[in-house]
């Protein structure tokens, strides 16, 4: 494991072999599959087995609070965002209601209390010598958490001015979380904001640049003043945002889904000197390929995206669960061994 210093060298513009590698989240069940470890330290064992140099530090929100049993005997729970869940058989939970259901709720809504958010893995991960990304929501994603996605998109297209107070409060919330993360000793902030699907943005370009982009830029600029590199993640096709992002303090891009139309050779040619590129390995490609095919695919992507430096190897998702085959994941990270 090269660790924190190898990622810092990439950010400084050096070309490095082997390329640094990592993800932002591995769930416990996946780590158990990878290592056979069912006890404490399973996350650390999974990170060690895959030879990660970087990892993500996710906020841990307060536990959901019990509200009542409904007329079918299901437990109703409320999370700190105000969303309502049913607890269903097997210990699973189903999201059934959002805190914002009509336009009047927008004015009254308040984001979760930062005092209730913790980072229990910060010390352990920091001591491993990993480069740590602190993860915060972008403004689009933060506001979208509070209402049904289709309702949110309808308001954004039809009455976007009503959402301006929400976007402003989202900047304050995510910036406050970034400040908290900086105090824990993270090395960079990753703003995660899934603003697109495989065919393009969830909203029109005009709406995005008029109503969302100014608040996103405000968040980027505020985090940049904290003295930490700012990275940006979005799933989907964000080709239409690359030139705009190049004019912001963002120094790195993550996801780069090739199956969503992200043109990797073009991005490397046009923006490889401007951004640190991360991802570029679509999960669908990993699910459908043999181990040898995975190794070949990853070797080709690394050769393309790391030429001249500026690449960190990860999946386009960055957030991995036990759905992915353990042998396939090992092949991805052991492609050059």
* pLDDT band at 92; cut points 50, 70, 90: confident
- For residue 79, pLDDT beyond 70: yes
* Whole-number pLDDT of residue 19: 95
> How far apart are the C-alpha atoms of 135 and 112, rounded to whole Å?
16
Say what the alpha-carbon torsion angle 165, 218, 309, 20 is, to the nearest 10 degrees: -50
Q: What is the mean pLDDT of residues 11-17?
A: 92
Average pLDDT over the chain, rounded to an integer: 94
Spatial contact of 292 and 253, defined as CB atoms under 8 Å apart: no
Q: pLDDT (tens digit, 9 = 90+) per residue, 272-290?
A: 999 999 999 999 988 888 9
Q: What is the mean pLDDT of residues 305-330?
A: 93
Output DSSP code: residue 275.
S
* Whole-number pLDDT of residue 104: 86
Sequence-distant (≥ 6) Cβ neighbours of residue 174 within 8 angstroms: 136, 137, 138, 139, 142, 191, 219
How is the chain split into domains, by residue range? Answer: 4-62+112-333, 63-100
* Whole-number pLDDT of residue 259: 94
CA torsion sign, 285 to 290 to 291 to 294? negative
Q: pLDDT (tens digit, 9 = 90+) per residue, 110-138?
A: 999 999 999 988 888 988 999 999 999 99
* Whole-number pLDDT of residue 71: 84
Peptide bond into 18 cis (omega under 30): yes
Q: Which CATH number fits domain 4-62+112-333: 3.30.70.100, 3.40.50.720, 3.20.20.210, 3.60.21.10?
A: 3.20.20.210
- For residue 91, pLDDT beyond 80: no
* pLDDT band at 232; cut points 50, 70, 90: very high
Q: Which has more confidence, 261 or 40?
A: 261
Q: pLDDT (tens digit, 9 = 90+) per residue, 138-181?
A: 999 999 999 999 999 999 999 999 999 999 999 999 999 999 99
* Whole-number pLDDT of residue 273: 95
Q: What is the mean pLDDT of residues 217-224?
A: 98
Q: Which has more confidence, 255 or 92?
A: 255
* Whole-number pLDDT of residue 81: 96
């Amino acid at each position: 494991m090269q660790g924190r210093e190898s990622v810092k060298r990439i950010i400084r513009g050096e070309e490095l072999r082997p390329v640094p590698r990592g993800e932002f989240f591995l769930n416990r069940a996946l780590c158990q599959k990878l290592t056979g470890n069912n006890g404490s330290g399973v996350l650390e064992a999974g990170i060690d087995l895959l030879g990660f140099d970087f990892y993500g530090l996710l906020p841990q929100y307060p536990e959901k609070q019990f509200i009542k049993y409904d007329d079918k005997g299901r437990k109703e729970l409320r999370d700190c965002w105000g969303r309502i869940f049913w607890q269903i058989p097997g210990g699973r939970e189903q999201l059934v209601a959002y805190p914002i259901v009509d336009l009047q709720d927008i004015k009254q809504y308040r984001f979760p209390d930062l005092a209730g958010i913790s980072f229990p893995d910060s010390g352990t991960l920091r001591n491993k010598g990993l480069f740590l990304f602190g993860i915060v929501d972008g403004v689009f994603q933060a506001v979208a958490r509070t209402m049904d996605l289709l309702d949110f998109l309808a308001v954004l297209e039809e009455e976007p001015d009503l959402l301006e107070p929400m976007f402003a409060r989202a900047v304050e919330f995510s910036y406050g979380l970034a400040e908290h993360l900086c105090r824990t000793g993270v090395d960079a902030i990753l703003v995660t904001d899934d603003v697109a699907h495989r065919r393009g943005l969830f909203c029109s370009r005009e709406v995005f640049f008029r109503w969302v982009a100014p608040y996103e830029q405000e968040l980027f600029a505020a985090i940049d003043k904290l003295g930490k590199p700012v990275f940006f993640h979005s799933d989907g096709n964000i080709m239409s945002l690359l030139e705009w992002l190049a004019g912001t303090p963002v120094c790195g891009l993550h996801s780069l889904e090739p199956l969503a139309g992200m043109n990797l050779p073009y991005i490397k040619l046009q923006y490889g000197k401007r951004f640190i590129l991360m991802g570029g390995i679509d999960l669908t490609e990993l699910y459908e390929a043999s181990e040898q095919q995975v190794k070949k695919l990853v070797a080709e992507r690394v050769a393309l995206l790391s030429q001249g430096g500026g690449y960190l190897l990860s999946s386009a998702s960055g957030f991995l669960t036990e759905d992915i085959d353990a042998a396939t994941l090992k092949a991805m990270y052991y492609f050059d061994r």
